[in-house]
Amino acid sequence: MIGRSPEMQQIAAMIERVAASSISVLISGESGTGKELVAQTIHRLSPRSDQPYLAINCAAIPETLMESELFGHERGAFTGADRRRLGCFEQANGGTLLLDEISEMKIDLQAKLLRVIEEQRLRRLGSPVEVGLDVRVLAASNRNLQRAVREGRLRLDLYYRLKVVTVELPPLRSRAADIPSLVDQFIQEFRHTNPRICGIDEDCLKALQAHQWPGNIRELRHLIQGALVISQGPLLSVKDLPTELRPLGGDDLAFAVRAGTPIRDVERRLIYRTIRLTGGNKTRAAELLGISLRSLYYRLQRYEPKRSGEL
């Protein structure tokens, strides 16, 4: 888990606290924010770390196979079942099981899942015998699960059983302070593709921090991987980024300040160019400038853009 922002420090502390127990944890956040990494970290820090860890994506498995995938089956339980198969719960016995996109599971199977979690016992399809379990269950979703409950797509009792503790991951766009550390990590991870690269220049880093990152950390990781392939080094630069991430005006976003220039003029130019850097996103511009959005609007009301080049 990488992050120096207050949000990530709080999450790291929470992970350390919950890892020592066997309680269920619900991990929420947008796609690409690192939900499975949180689950893996909880497992690695837990007393179960030497036992199996399994992750199952409930949205990726056909409904007809989901029950067998979870609970297993005996030979002859259904057409095509030519041998016994252990489900994910038995494969993870003694360890940790992550149920990703839990709201995508059909509602009648959720009742059986709740019973298995509560009683720590299951019966394979086609078997008259119950099997005892010791599995810690974690759940993850990038959807609004409270809405899924209201819409009848997620059982309320299962929802409350899974969210004993909730870890909510913030989107990358709200934790720009963590981007330098993440970039360094990904450069080291993929540096073998271009050993000449030893870091990233300041303008490139600013462009990355200004981006909205709809794909979050996963998007950043893939972007750095691609930039390393095409870069001529020794530092990643703006020209190595996809066109949509390059700030308008390129290098002219920087400007010289002559001694004796009125503070008001310097501030005006800085604010307009920062807004330009963020593609017009004033919320992001305020974050980069270290002021509130309200303060930014107050300053803009005081200024008149005398030259279009200031925008």
Sign of CA dihedral 68, 156, 34, 135: negative
Residue 277 lies in a domain: yes
Q: What is the CATH number of the domain that holds 192?
A: 1.10.8.60
Q: How far apart are CA 295 and CA 178, in angstroms?
A: 24
Residues of the chain with pLDDT under 50: 250-251, 306-311
Do 86 and 117 have their domain in common? yes
Do 232 and 100 have their domain in common? no
Bridge partners (DSSP) of residue 125 are 73
Residue 222 lies in a domain: yes
If one counts every other C-beta atom within 10 angstroms of the C-beta of residue 175, the result is 22
Do 230 and 295 have their domain in common? no
Residue 204 lies in a domain: yes
Do 18 and 158 have their domain in common? yes
Q: Write the single-letter amino acid at 292.
A: S
Do 182 and 166 have their domain in common? no
Q: What is the CATH number of the domain that holds 263?
A: 1.10.10.60
Give residue 183's domain range: 173-246
CA angle 201, 308, 277 (to 5 degrees): 25
The answer to whether 229 touches 194, Cβ cutoff 8 Å, is yes
Residue 102 lies in a domain: yes
Residue 195 lies in a domain: yes
Residue 88 lies in a domain: yes
Do 22 and 121 have their domain in common? yes
Q: What is the CATH number of the domain that holds 60?
A: 3.40.50.300
Complete DSSP assignment for 281-304: -HHHHHHHHTS-HHHHHHHHHH--
Q: Which of 170, 185, 210 is the last residue of a domain?
A: 170
Buried b / exposed e along 129-156 (16+ C-beta atoms within 10 A):
eebebebbbbbbbbbebeebbeeebbbe
Do 12 and 154 have their domain in common? yes
Do 83 and 135 have their domain in common? yes
Cα distances (Å, whole numbers) of residue 101 to 59, 113, 196: 6, 14, 40
Q: How many domains does the chain have?
A: 3
295 Cβ contact partners less than 8 Å away, ≥ 6 residues apart: 286
Instruction: Locate 139 and state its tokens.
Output: 């759940």
Q: Output the pLDDT for position 310.
A: 45
Three-class SS state of 233: coil
Residue 138 lies in a domain: yes
